[in-house]
Amino acid sequence: MAVRLIDIERALDELVLMEEGKRFQRMAVILQRRRWPELIAHEPKKDDGLDAYAPPSLSGDRTGRGVACSTTPTISKVSEDARKAKGKFPGLKTLIFVTSGKVSRITATKWAKQILKDYELELQVVSREDIITTLMQPENASICATFLNIDLRPEPTLAELIANARQAAAEIAESWAGRLNGQPLIELRAERLELNGAESSHVFSLGDVSEALRESRRLVLEAPAGRGKTTTLVQLARGAGATHTALMVDLSQWVDSGRNILEYLGGMREFLARRIGAAELARVCQTGSLSFLLNGWNEITASNSVAATNALRNLERAFPEAGIIVATRTHHLTPPLSAATRLRLLPLTRRQRAEHLAARLGGDKAQKLQSSLDTEPVLDELTRTPFILSEVTRLFEAGAPIPKTKIGVLGAVIRLQEEAQEHRNQLHDQPLFGMASAHLEALATEMTRRGGVSLPDTDARAVISAGSADLLSRKQIERPPEPSDVLAALTAHHVLERTDYPAPAFRFGHQQFQEYYATIDVRQRLLRLTDRDSDGLRQFTADYVNEPAWEEPLRMIAETLNTGPWRSCPR
């Protein structure tokens, strides 16, 4: 069985990276023994410069040959081995230097002249390309499996490849569904918008959207925060069935990766586990019956807007037979899909809300909460949004009071998590010392300022470091903790999440938690202003009021200006 070139190259690179010189030595000696069977392998240590040697008495041409192996392709390494071997093997005439590194023919000739001059030895260099071409021969497949850990299972058939790809796509969808905490999903409806954004009387069911994707149409799914965009994409992916491949993609992460769509997907754990890379995905895509479900156009940062636009246009050109849907909050930049149908998710009806509560709570509990929501106008309106309904239900299940503002609900849910037995002590112990909120506010503010929903690991650590310095200056902590320890604790015991693909980064479990903490930070800045501080008010307006990224935090502030401690906020 032949082994692929790319698999051998990757395995050699990994072997060098892991500094596994002994494994390379054994493999190289075996390869050279296939050329000169008279070679006798030496023990890895105290080998006197040679990893294998064939004395003249065993060689057909009466020439003593020695093999020296190294992952370090330098003349100094060759000279060191030649010096040691010259004094220990009197019959040595030819030194074969085997290396996993690249050594050009010109360089090898220069080395040979120097070794001949210094040690009177003929030097033959066996470098990376010779090793690779030798390993690609079918008879050497077992060596690749043993020493390079290359999987030699036969290539899957196209049918098997398609089935594996759909399994991987289903796993990705379930990982997205995990963010919904296993709750029963509501089948939402969407109204079609006219080209000018006006509402129409045409309502799409989930089945209508799925059928449109199977017809290779382009769709833009718009909705405000928490209305159910991710839920809808998960339902579309789950409903793809055995004859359709639905690929869920985090749009901002894909654009940040700088890779084409197949390279990005092929690098995900679910596809890697099934040996499906970009080439295999290309084969799957050629079979048709494919949809791309892209989540989070509004999460693209301003600096990446051009790259995102180009990525979508390239995707559309490369896959004309695929269905494409982009989920986004209403955004000033419309996703550049040609002839796209714009859809806007509708709020929950009371009937949908009641059905969800019955499925989640059952019986009397569902009726009790439903009655409370129906008779309280503010909560009735708030819980037409699936995310808020889910969080209100969570508070109800815990027996906690239910606030009547969005920011109140989010705050109550966060307090509920903070007071949970598995989190309470850790949040007050090192490295957080009860300052989780301060760190989360700093992270949320920086994410929102950038117009994104995540921070790379290095930037997140910088934000934590700066925040710790501020806490130290205000005598809130005695010594600054390690930023990585703070991030690890927030990930384990709060609403922060770590993502590792395509690069390590941090984000909130839901964008609304990010906006909650950004709102707290902005509120504090607002409370410090007075009506007489005209310069401060102008700066506040410039920093926040005119920036689209701050629209939702400012809206949450506005809805609570006349309640509780917010009454003192300047108008």
CATH number at residue 265: 3.40.50.300
Residue 408 lies in a domain: no
Tell me, what's the pLDDT at 565?
Answer: 41
Domain boundary among 325, 345, 365: 345
Burial class (CB in 10 A: 0-12, 13-18, 19+), 145: middle
Nearest Cα residue to 552 out of 478, 448, 419: 448
Tell me, what's the pLDDT at 487?
Answer: 96
Tell me, what's the pLDDT at 571?
Answer: 33
Tell me, what's the pLDDT at 561?
Answer: 61
Q: Are 221 and 190 in contact (CB under 8 A)?
A: yes
Whether residues 502 and 464 fall in one domain: yes
Residue 527 lies in a domain: yes
Tell me, what's the pLDDT at 1?
Answer: 60
Distance of CA 180 to the CA centre of its chain: 18
Tell me, what's the pLDDT at 182?
Answer: 66
Residue 334 lies in a domain: yes
| CA–CA distance, 252 with 297 (Å, rounded to integer) | 7
Tell me, what's the pLDDT at 564?
Answer: 43
C-alpha torsion 13→18→20→23, nearest 10: -60
Three-class SS of residue 64?
Answer: strand
Whether residues 332 and 187 fall in one domain: yes
Tell me, what's the pLDDT at 563?
Answer: 47
| Strand runs labelled E in 223-336 | 245-250, 290-295, 323-328
* Pairing verdict, β 290-295 and 323-328: parallel
Query: How far apart are the two ends of the chain, measured CA to CA in Å?
Result: 76
Residue 320 lies in a domain: yes
Q: Are 50 and 67 in contact (CB under 8 A)?
A: yes
The DSSP string of 176-215 is HHGGGTTPPPP---EEEEPTTS-EEEEEE-HHHHHHHHHT
Residue 387 lies in a domain: yes
Q: Are 253 and 310 in contact (CB under 8 A)?
A: no
Whether residues 337 and 218 fall in one domain: yes
Query: In angstroms, what is the C-alpha Rg of the chain?
Result: 32
Domain boundary among 296, 325, 345: 345
Max CA pair span of the chain: 102
| CA–CA distance, 404 with 6 (Å, rounded to integer) | 59
Residue 60 lies in a domain: yes
Whether residues 334 and 480 fall in one domain: no
Domain boundary among 345, 369, 384: 345
Q: By residue range, what is the domain housing residue 478?
A: 423-568
DSSP assignment letter at 248: E
Residue 457 lies in a domain: yes
**Beta-carbon count within 10 A of 76 CB:** 8
Residue 412 lies in a domain: no
Whether residues 187 and 325 fall in one domain: yes
Whether residues 78 and 136 fall in one domain: yes
Whether residues 372 and 450 fall in one domain: no
Tell me, what's the pLDDT at 83?
Answer: 94
Whether residues 270 and 377 fall in one domain: no
Whether residues 90 and 136 fall in one domain: yes
State the Cα angle at 526 between 525 and 530, rounded to 5°: 115
Q: Are 135 and 125 in contact (CB under 8 A)?
A: no
Q: What is the mean pLDDT of each run of 10 residues along the chain (571 residues)?
A: 83 88 93 94 87 92 93 94 91 95 95 95 95 92 91 83 93 88 84 85 94 95 91 93 90 94 95 91 87 92 89 95 93 84 94 94 94 93 93 94 92 92 92 95 94 94 96 92 95 92 92 93 84 80 83 82 44 33
Domain total for the chain? Answer: 4
| CA–CA distance, 202 with 501 (Å, rounded to integer) | 39
Three-class SS of residue 218?
Answer: strand
Distance of CA 494 to the CA centre of its chain: 20
**Beta-carbon count within 10 A of 223 CB:** 24
Q: Are 188 and 345 in contact (CB under 8 A)?
A: yes
Tell which phi-psi region holds residue 88, choosing left (phi > 0), alpha (psi between -120 and 50) or beta.
Answer: alpha
Whether residues 440 and 386 fall in one domain: no
Whether residues 447 and 561 fall in one domain: yes
Whether residues 173 and 276 fall in one domain: yes
CATH of the domain at 61: 3.40.1350.10
**Beta-carbon count within 10 A of 344 CB:** 19
